[in-house]
Amino acid sequence: MIIRWMTLVCFTLVATLAAAQSDNEAVRQLIQRLGDDDFALRDQAQTEIVELGEWALPFLQIAAQSHDDPEVRARAGLAVKQIEFNTKLA
């Protein structure tokens, strides 16, 4: 019985970590799209990142400070401000 429970816990942990890693990669991809040549894609990426909310903030703060693309830095900084504003309203 204990072995089954431990196995279930391990599978749950692995699935949770895999999902978190997938979410992190999705945020990184959205951040990259903030610098896309297509304005509509940049705008859509920014909207999607802001909708993710607070957990995206660490990624955005890093991008706003150190990304190579000035457009990404500017949009990431704006997204940080939008998320912080939305958080205060909630």
Name which residue leads in pLDDT, 48 or 16.
48
CA angle 65, 73, 69 (to 5 degrees): 110
- pLDDT tens profile 18-31: 444 567 888 999 99
Q: How far apart (Å, rounded) are the C-alpha atoms in residues 55 and 70? A: 23
Token pair of 40 as six digits: 């509509």
CA angle 10, 16, 20 (to 5 degrees): 145
Helices (H), the chain: 2-33, 39-52, 57-66, 70-89
- pLDDT tens profile 56-77: 999 999 999 999 999 999 999 9
